[in-house]
Amino acid sequence: MGIRKKNLFFIVIMSVMLLSLMACSSNGSSKNTAKDGVVEVTYWHMWTGDWKKLIDSLVDEFNESHPDIHVKALSIAGDANSKFLTAQAGGDPPDVMTQWNQVIPSWAEKGAIKSLDPYIKANAPDLEDWMYPIVAEIGRYKDEMYAVPFSMNSFMLYYNKDVFKEVGLDPENPPKTIQELDALQDKLWKMDDRGFIERIGFMPGWLTQWYTAFGGQWVDEEGNPTATNEKNLETLKWFESYAKKYDPKKIASFQKSLESNTTNSTWPFLTGKTVFSVDGMWRLLDLQNYAPDLDYGVAPLPYPEIDGKPNASWINGNYNIIPEGAKHPEEAWKFILWLTGYKNEEWAGNMLAKGGWIPASPKITEQAGYQSYLDEIPYRNGFVDLFNSENVQITPVIPVQQYYWDRIGAAEESVMTGSKSPEEALENVQKEIEKEIEKIKSE
């Protein structure tokens, strides 16, 4: 019996030691290493396909130039937001994540992501001044920076010059105002003998883009919702005027005939199915690759003649965050700064050109490599120049940011299908957002 007890005691001791070793190997002390003292940083992003290949190549460049850090990139398919929150709540978040969804204020409010202010003060005290002013606003919540953008998007109006010439319009004179845009439509829409649509001239959509040209606002200076703002209402009434003029059922039938996936070669603008399209700078490559013979133009969003806002655009971007509970925040911060191009502008100018992205900083824009990229397709300059416009806007940085944008989209649909008036739709949004804010306050 004594021998058995000793054997049992030995087994228990060895099991405890083994479990301790396993815990150390999985969690590390303060550093989780890959090998030879190299810190392994887990990096989540949401790109797939060719975009994933580009991100992988950028990560490889970082790893080669930072021998003490190894970034392991993972493409998170599906609902990346839920997966992140689950991992963060479970104590096993990535060290860094690139996001483009509108989650910064919500996640900051939940305590799911770190304030980057301590890192900025220590390593990049002039970072906000280095960026375009509107870019810095995207990552700031309650006077602290929670995210650092590294690539940006703005939006302009593409138009088909070939169709302009076909119907007798000046292809070098795109509409500058809403009134001019409206006046063109009878010439541009094309119907068959049965009255079905063969070509759409212009059909309003994307209220959270067009409100910028009307001077709308979704929150006041204190962050309170202003869904019923008179300029928001003016924008939505303009949308409604098209829904009344053109049969929404026929438009829906026409749109169903198009590819549901509008990426790359399936973009309807390429085949002349739509004469106008509001889109980003990356579409210039689609035009170059898939419709090299199409004669097209690019112009700023038209704006109302009275109190309209020229050179307007809603803008967004790809930005990096560090989760609370990240095992290697210091190394993650080094990766973020490098990817942003801070003090690394020449490299960033060449990198952003590969992705068709707009820099977060004018100091990158002015780099020779990026200037060469802009000159390859001169229309690119217009997208970049918008970042110097006083009429660009971002999604309001409030905790219900994504919910607000979703409810605006639902309101737009209700008006375009005739189920609600613009007034009813926006009043409903106002009530929904006020209720959601109160809900968050009570939690």
The predicted-structure confidence for 53-78, as pLDDT tens digits, reads as follows 999 999 999 999 999 999 999 999 88
pTM over 0.85? The answer is yes
What's the pLDDT tens digit per position in 286-333? 999 999 999 999 999 999 999 999 999 999 999 999 999 999 999 999
pLDDT score for 260: 52
Q: How confident is the model at residue 123 (pLDDT cuts 50, 70, 90)?
A: very high
Q: β-strands 96-99, 39-45: how paired? A: parallel
Q: How many CB atoms are closer than 10 A to CB 341?
A: 25
* Residue-averaged pLDDT of the chain: 90
Q: What is the mean pLDDT of residues 232-257?
A: 90
- Helix-helix angle 401-416:230-245, to 10 degrees: 40
At residue 266, the pLDDT reads: 82
The amino acid at 419: S
3-state secondary structure (DSSP) of residue 422: helix
With cut-offs at 50, 70 and 90, classify the pLDDT of residue 441. confident
**E-strand stretches of 316-419:** 316-321, 392-393
pLDDT of residue 19: 35
Q: Give the whole-angstrom CA distance, residue 100 versus residue 137.
A: 14
Greater confidence (13 vs 173) lies with: 173
155-203+246-309 CATH pick, 1.10.10.10, 2.40.440.10, 3.40.190.10, 3.40.50.2300: 3.40.190.10
What was the pLDDT predicted at 101? 86
Q: Percent of the chain beyond pLDDT 70?
A: 91
Rounded to an integer, the average pLDDT of 195-200 is: 91
Q: Give DSSP secondary structure letters for 352-372.
A: HHHHTPBPSSHHHHTSHHHHH
- Cβ atoms 101, 76 nearer than 8 A: no
Q: In the chain, where does the domain assigned CATH 3.40.190.10 lie?
A: 39-153+315-393, 155-203+246-309
- What was the pLDDT predicted at 35? 63
Average pLDDT over residues 148-162: 96
Amino acid found at 211 = Y
User: Coil, helix or strand for 151?
Assistant: strand
Whole-number percent of the chain with pLDDT over 90: 81
The CATH fold of domain 39-153+315-393: D-Maltodextrin-Binding Protein; domain 2 (3.40.190)
Measured CA distances, 70 to 7, 39, 141, 246 (Å): 43, 6, 30, 56
Instruction: Provide the pLDDT for residue 238.
Output: 98
Q: Directed axis angle between helix 230-245 and helix 178-188, to 10°?
A: 10
Q: DSSP letter at 167?
A: T
